[in-house]
Amino acid sequence: MAAAKNSDGTVGKALSVLDKVALFGRPVRFSEILADSEFPKATLYRLLQTLTNQGMLGYDPDRQLYSLGVRLVGLAHAAWNQASLAPIARPLLDELSLKVDETVHLGQLDHGQVLYVDKRNPKLPLNMFSDAGKIGPGYCTGVGKAMLAYLDKPLRDKLVSQQSFHRYTEHTITNSDDFQAELATIREQRVAYDREEHEPNIICIAAPILSSKQRVLGGLSITTSTGRYTLEELEKFKPELLATAHKISQLAQSWHFPETNS
Amino acid sequence: MAAAKNSDGTVGKALSVLDKVALFGRPVRFSEILADSEFPKATLYRLLQTLTNQGMLGYDPDRQLYSLGVRLVGLAHAAWNQASLAPIARPLLDELSLKVDETVHLGQLDHGQVLYVDKRNPKLPLNMFSDAGKIGPGYCTGVGKAMLAYLDKPLRDKLVSQQSFHRYTEHTITNSDDFQAELATIREQRVAYDREEHEPNIICIAAPILSSKQRVLGGLSITTSTGRYTLEELEKFKPELLATAHKISQLAQSWHFPETNS
DNA sequence: ATTGTTGTTCCACATATTGAAACTAGGTTT
DNA sequence: AAACCTAGTTTCAATATGTGGAACAACAAT
């Protein structure tokens, strides 16, 4: 049969519904979900009920609105603690962001996209779920490129082919060939640059965090704006960046850490 | 037959496995999960596979360890934004915590327990998943008691009966009767006090956040230590606390918010 | 080599899921 | 107020999915 259908059984379907609701980004009506769902009414209905029962979705009977459930927040707390580099890397992020006096991001790969698991901004010391948990594109962010560059070829090719290459700015790389070339350059330089590829005026330098077996654990970046530094000047952060990435990697090793596999 | 089995179908089982893994709090072996699982080997195996496929679990093939998946963190980000009071309440928490110069917590109910969705500490402005997402007992925390007190009787009774009443300190309330009495007192006073019931030397004053229909949306507390204030002195925060709770409630109303239903 | 332990696959069987269609509850039009 | 929508919920036979005992592989330890 070969080809990979993307749903494993009922659980897969249920989770895809979860995603749908998440995607709306606000509480939604049954019919709204039904509208862009492949499931028939009754099926969708039961899936929603199950998820609601399970606390993965919340339901407001007065307004008839489904929203993501609070249970997710609790699970994520656990996930963040045990499956992300964030709790280990935390002191190192503090240190780095203070030293360079710029924003630092810590990301991991999730299905070819970047999931930011932590962030430090030395000026605005406010961070929360609103920062961590954010997902960004893999092909036009510093951490994304740094991580993708260091995957082994088969996985890298697979994920590259899945990128959607939306042109965010005039500098965004918009096809796989250029992107593969960029990744090769990154491997040579050992760091990735974001040259206003995702947002105008935002530039960054990023490095992968690799396990001792050279598997990609995550990515680390120093982000700034063109108003503060030129792209060339970013290079001066390279030693600090690599040093911190390496330290995180060592800490991760010693306190057994799971490797991201997608 | 009748009685409510707590699992709805395969999805329920899969999610219970997720919880199990979360509960370990660290990456685990297949056999460890099997050990305290009611599922037979093959079944558990397939559930784990499905969850892993779906990115809800991560799997490290080298070490053969399952851990919570990063996908959860992304979902939670969305959940936090759309289903929690946190994003709306944020500026008000800032304001309150600065004004009283103490730590403030914002919580919501999740299956009779308290889920902290945000926190502000005016001294240590470091907060993250490591604070938000934390789950605490309902019967011995300020926000927990404040929220439980204001539920309508049937739901309240149900949740009270589900509390586990572990004696954390000598002040912890350890049976439903005393607890129901306490809840009555709270309704009279309009605020709940935590009298070192959860942790020694930690005290707090808390109020519920109610919708216009008097449904419980969440809870807000000001936490301090016996070293800084006596229990009696906490009362002076009551006006500020109630005012802020009310403001949050109003904001929540205007930007449609789902009500917690368990 | 031999045994033990842990993880993976098989397959007949049972159960949970499916979805068209019927139904109900509210709201809107005639 | 009756007739008519529309959005949401329930039913039920057909069947796709999930189940779990047992056999099997992979690998360690003896």
SS (H, E, C) chain A: CCCCCCCCHHHHHHHHHHHHHHHHCCCECHHHHHHCCCCCHHHHHHHHHHHHHCCCEEEECCCCEEEECHHHHHHHHHHHHHHCCHHHHHHHHHHHHHHHCCEEEEEEEECCEEEEEEEECCCCCCCCCCCCCCEECCCCCHHHHHHHHCCCHHHHHHHHHHCCCCCCCCCCCCCHHHHHHHHHHHHHHCCEEEECCCCCCEEEEEEEEECCCCCEEEEEEEEEECCCCCCCHHHHHHHHHHHHHHHHHHHHHHCCCCCCCC
Residue type, B64: Q
Q: What is the largest CA-CA distance in chain B?
A: 59
Closest by CA to A114, choosing from A125, A105, A124, is A105
Nucleotide nearest to A64 (CA to C1'): D8
pLDDT-wise least confident of A61-65, A67-71, A154-158, A183-187: A61-65
Domain ranges for chain A, please list them. 9-68, 76-254
Q: What is the pLDDT of residue A184?
A: 97
Residue in B77, B87, B133 closest to A74 by CB: B133
Place of tokens 């530094």: A229
First to last CA, chain A: 23
Phi, psi of A240 (to 5 degrees): -60, -45
Check if the beta carbon of residue A88 is closer than 8 Å to that of residue A252: yes
Average pLDDT score over residue span A209-236: 93
Beta strand residue intervals within B85-139, DSSP E: 103-110, 113-120, 135-136
State the Cα–Cα distance between residues A239 and A122, nearest whole angstrom.
19
Residue B11, CB, less than 7 Å from strand C?
A: yes
CA distance, residue B29 to nearest chain A CA (Å)? 12
Q: Give the percent of chain B with pLDDT over 70.
A: 91
Q: What is the pLDDT of residue A62?
A: 78
Q: Give the percent of chain A with pLDDT over 70.
A: 91
Average pLDDT score over residue span B202-231: 93
pLDDT-wise least confident of A123-127, B40-44, B83-87, B229-233: A123-127
**Distance, CA of B119 to C1' of D8, in Å:** 38
CA distance, residue B157 to nearest chain A CA (Å)? 19
The answer, yes or no, to whether residue A130 has pLDDT greater than 70, is no
Q: What is the pLDDT of residue A9?
A: 86
Average pLDDT score over residue span B3-20: 78
Closest by CA to B116, choosing from B34, B240, B223, is B223
The answer, yes or no, to whether residue B259 has pLDDT greater than 60, is no
Helix (H) or strand (E) holding B68: strand B65-68
Beta bridge partners of B114: B109, B136
First to last CA, chain B: 24
The answer, yes or no, to whether residue A6 has pLDDT greater than 70, is no
Q: Which tops the pLDDT comparison, A252 or A6?
A: A252
User: Which phi-psi region, left, alpha or beta, contains residue A112 (left: φ > 0; alpha: ψ -120 to 50)?
Assistant: left
Mutation site, B33, B85, B128, interface A, largest A CB count within 10 A: B128
On average, the pLDDT of chain A sits at 88
CATH class of B76-254: alpha beta
Average pLDDT score over residue span A65-75: 89
Residue B192 — very low, low, confident or very high, per pLDDT cuts 50/70/90?
A: very high
Residue in A11, A22, A59 closest to B261 by CB: A59
pLDDT-wise least confident of A51-65, A204-218, B178-192: A51-65
CA distance, residue B231 to nearest chain A CA (Å)? 30
Residues 36-65 of B with CB under 7 A from strand C: 41-42, 45-46, 64
Q: 3-class SS at B67?
A: strand
Residue-wise pLDDT for B81-123, tens only, equals 887 788 889 899 999 999 999 999 999 998 899 999 998 887 7
Q: What is the pLDDT of residue A163?
A: 95
Check if the beta carbon of residue A148 is closer than 8 Å to that of residue A156: yes
Which residues of chain B have a CB within 8 Å of the CB of A63?
Answer: 256, 258
Helix (H) or strand (E) holding B125: none
State the Cα–Cα distance between residues B105 and B205, nearest whole angstrom.
10
Residue B30, CB, less than 7 Å from strand C?
A: yes
Which residues of chain A have a CB within 8 Å of the CB of B135?
Answer: 74, 77
Nucleotide nearest to A9 (CA to C1'): D17
The answer, yes or no, to whether residue A3 has pLDDT greater than 50, is no
The answer, yes or no, to whether residue B229 has pLDDT greater than 90, is yes
Check if the beta carbon of residue B106 is closer than 8 Å to that of residue B92: no
Residue A120 — very low, low, confident or very high, per pLDDT cuts 50/70/90?
A: confident
State the Cα–Cα distance between residues B1 and A64, nearest whole angstrom.
31
Protein-covered nucleotides on strand D (Cβ within 7 A): 7-11, 17-23
Domain A9-68, CATH number (from 3.40.50.300, 2.60.40.420, 1.10.10.10, 1.10.1060.10): 1.10.10.10
Mutation site, B75, B93, B115, B155, interface A, largest A CB count within 10 A: B75
Mutation site, B72, B123, B259, B262, interface A, largest A CB count within 10 A: B72
Which residues of chain B have a CB within 8 Å of the CB of A15?
Answer: 54, 56
Per-residue tokens: B29 = 């072996």
Average pLDDT score over residue span A45-65: 88
The answer, yes or no, to whether residue B183 has pLDDT greater than 90, is yes
State the Cα–Cα distance between residues B262 and B252, nearest whole angstrom.
18
The answer, yes or no, to whether residue A261 has pLDDT greater than 80, is no
Phi, psi of B183 (to 5 degrees): -65, -35
Q: What is the pLDDT of residue A39?
A: 87
Q: What is the pLDDT of residue A211?
A: 86
Average pLDDT score over residue span B172-199: 96
**Distance, CA of A144 to C1' of C26, in Å:** 50
- Cα dist. A138→A145, A174, B44 in Å? 6, 12, 33
The answer, yes or no, to whether residue B4 has pLDDT greater than 50, is no
- Cα dist. A162→A32, A117, A139, A158, A222 in Å? 27, 22, 10, 7, 26
State the Cα–Cα distance between residues B220 and B94, nearest whole angstrom.
13
State the Cα–Cα distance between residues B11 and A153, nearest whole angstrom.
35
Average pLDDT score over residue span A95-118: 93
Average pLDDT score over residue span A183-191: 97
Q: What is the pLDDT of residue A193?
A: 97
The answer, yes or no, to whether residue B146 has pLDDT greater than 60, is yes
Residue A63, CB, less than 7 Å from strand C?
A: no
**Distance, CA of A181 to C1' of D10, in Å:** 57
Average pLDDT score over residue span B47-55: 90
Please tell us whether the domain made up of B9-69 is placed in CATH 1.10.3720.10.
Answer: no
Exposed/middle/buried for residue B30 (C-beta within 10 Å: 0-12, 13-18, 19+): middle
State the Cα–Cα distance between residues B165 and A9, nearest whole angstrom.
39
Q: What is the pLDDT of residue A236?
A: 95
Judged by CB atoms closer than 8 Å, whether chains meet at B70 and A127 is answered as no
Residue in A18, A19, A125 closest to B125 by CB: A125
Q: What is the pLDDT of residue B256?
A: 56
The answer, yes or no, to whether residue A262 has pLDDT greater than 70, is no
Q: What is the pLDDT of residue B1?
A: 31
Residue B245 — very low, low, confident or very high, per pLDDT cuts 50/70/90?
A: very high
Check if the beta carbon of residue A75 is closer than 8 Å to that of residue A99: no
Judged by CB atoms closer than 8 Å, whether chains meet at A12 and B256 is answered as no
Nucleotide nearest to B46 (CA to C1'): D18
Per-residue tokens: B176 = 């439903």
Residue-wise pLDDT for A220-233, tens only, equals 999 999 999 999 99
